[in-house]
Amino acid sequence: MARKNKKVKTLAQRQARTGRLFVYPWLIGFLIFFAWPFIQSIIFAFSELDVSPDGYKVVFVGFRNFIKAIREDPTFIQYLTTEVGNILVDIPLIIMFALFIAILLNQKFRGRALVRAIFFLPVVVMSGALLYVLESNSLEQFNIGAQAGMALSNSPFVQGIDFRAFLIRITGNIPFILPIIDAIDRIYEIIWKSGVQILIFLAGLQSIPSSLYEVASVEGATAWETFWKVTLPMISPIILVNVVYTVIDSFTDYSNSVLRYILDVAFGRLQHGYSAAIAWLYFLIIGILLLVVIWIISKRVFYMNE
């Protein structure tokens, strides 16, 4: 077969060969730096690992690591639920905020360049370490500042603490008001985390053909109707992209407590097998969550070409 190919090669075959030439280096890298470690980490999650400078020993222990994570470890479940909760709350807030800002930034107005430059600042400046420094301090700082009445209570991330008390007092309805307060507390974080999402939405908005908007305006649609009937369906595939990106973004985020915990277990306490197990648990839960979200959204996604 191979010899026959060598003799007579159609254009398609030659094309395929050059294509493979360009793509296969990635496959090599994938096998070395991803696929093999990926399989190994499954093995490690089911075993106890003893790493020493001249290699490592693997002792199979079955599901013990997973049982330990779920039944015995007091902190892991707590970190996991907080982080999963955080992501669940962050996704809709970031998507809504980013879409809103992207639509505003897509319009023409004076000073647009400046506003855009400011809004994409987080893309460049935002790092897990920075957010960690800011966040870890704001609360203690508030307490200290409040006690001493110092100017330091003026924290970089203003939390909705006063506002919270006010809202609870006027409504007296805590369960109902809590999500709103939570959202207010998160506003800074949300704004700081949605830089790339705004960029992706902007790119998507630019690719909507202007003829659709012209038709809408000829038909007498209001801006509100245009948003729901033209912009939102056209942008819906990008919402999917942004949901996935938001989740990915949280993986390498230093302020993510699960990830810091995994690092601590692996290199602080040297329980390598156990850390692989909790990393897998985290991945599985996030993966299931992502699948559910994608499934819910993709039913409503509209593709123009289909």
Partner 1 sequence: MYQREELIAIWRRRISKIIISILKILLFLGLSYVLIRPILFMLSTALKSREDLIDPTVVWIPKHLTFENFKLAFNSLNYFNAFKNSLLISIIPAIFNVISCSMIGYGLARFKFREKEFIFALILFTLIVPPQVLLIPLYVFYQRFDILGIISLIRGEPLNLLNTYYPIILPTILGGGLRSGLFIYIFRQFFRGMSQELEEAAYVDGASPFQTYVRIFIPNSIPAVVTVFLFSLVWHWNDVFEPSVYIGDFEKYTLSLNLANIKAIITGGTQIWDPLLILPPQYAGAILVILPMLIFYLFTQRFFVESIERTGIIG
Q: Restricting to residues 59-98, which ones interact with partner 1 according to CB under 8 A?
A: none
Q: Classify 50 as helix, strand or coil.
A: strand
Q: Which of 70, 86, 103, 132 binds partner 1 (CB under 8 A)?
A: 132
Site for partner 1 in 244-303 (CB under 8 A): 244-245, 247-248, 251-252, 254, 259, 262-263, 266-267, 272-273, 275-276, 279-280, 282-283, 286-287, 290
Nearer to partner 1, 171 or 207 (CB): 207
Query: What's the min distance (Å) between Cβ of 172 and partner 1?
Result: 29
DSSP state of 221: -
Query: What's the min distance (Å) between Cβ of 207 and partner 1?
Result: 5
Q: Which residues, including other chains, have CB under 8 Å from residue 245's CB and lie 6 or more apart?
A: 196, 197, 200
Nearer to partner 1, 181 or 197 (CB): 197
Nearer to partner 1, 216 or 282 (CB): 282
Nearer to partner 1, 10 or 211 (CB): 10
User: CA-to-CA distance for 79 and 258, rounded, in angstroms?
Assistant: 6
Nearer to partner 1, 8 or 21 (CB): 21
Q: Which residues, including other chains, have CB under 8 Å from residue 216's CB and lie 6 or more apart?
A: 225, 226, 229, 230
Site for partner 1 in 168-227 (CB under 8 A): 187-188, 191-192, 199-200, 202-204, 206-207
User: CA-to-CA distance for 142 and 148, rounded, in angstroms?
Assistant: 10
- The number of residues that bind partner 1 (CB under 8 A) is 103
Q: What is the greatest pairwise CA distance in the chain?
A: 86
Q: Around 206, how many Cα atoms within 13 Å sit in the side-chain half-sphere?
A: 8
User: CA-to-CA distance for 68 and 75, rounded, in angstroms?
Assistant: 11
Query: What's the min distance (Å) between Cβ of 99 and partner 1?
Result: 13
Q: Classify 9 as helix, strand or coil.
A: coil
243, 121 Cβ separation under 8 angstroms: no
Binding segment for partner 1 (CB under 8 A), chosen from 23-31, 85-93, 159-167, 214-222, is 23-31
Q: Which of 5, 56, 78, 300 binds partner 1 (CB under 8 A)?
A: 56
Taking CA 294 as the corner, what is the angle to CA 289 and CA 296, rounded to the nearest 5 degrees? 95
Nearer to partner 1, 17 or 85 (CB): 17
Binding segment for partner 1 (CB under 8 A), chosen from 26-34, 61-69, 74-82, 167-175, is 26-34
Q: Which of 62, 149, 172, 220 binds partner 1 (CB under 8 A)?
A: 149
User: CA-to-CA distance for 104 and 293, rounded, in angstroms?
Assistant: 26
Instruction: Give the CA distances from residue 220 to residues 225, 226, 301, in Å, rounded to whole numbers and listed in that order.
Output: 10, 10, 25
Nearer to partner 1, 41 or 226 (CB): 41
Q: Which of 5, 9, 37, 60 binds partner 1 (CB under 8 A)?
A: 37
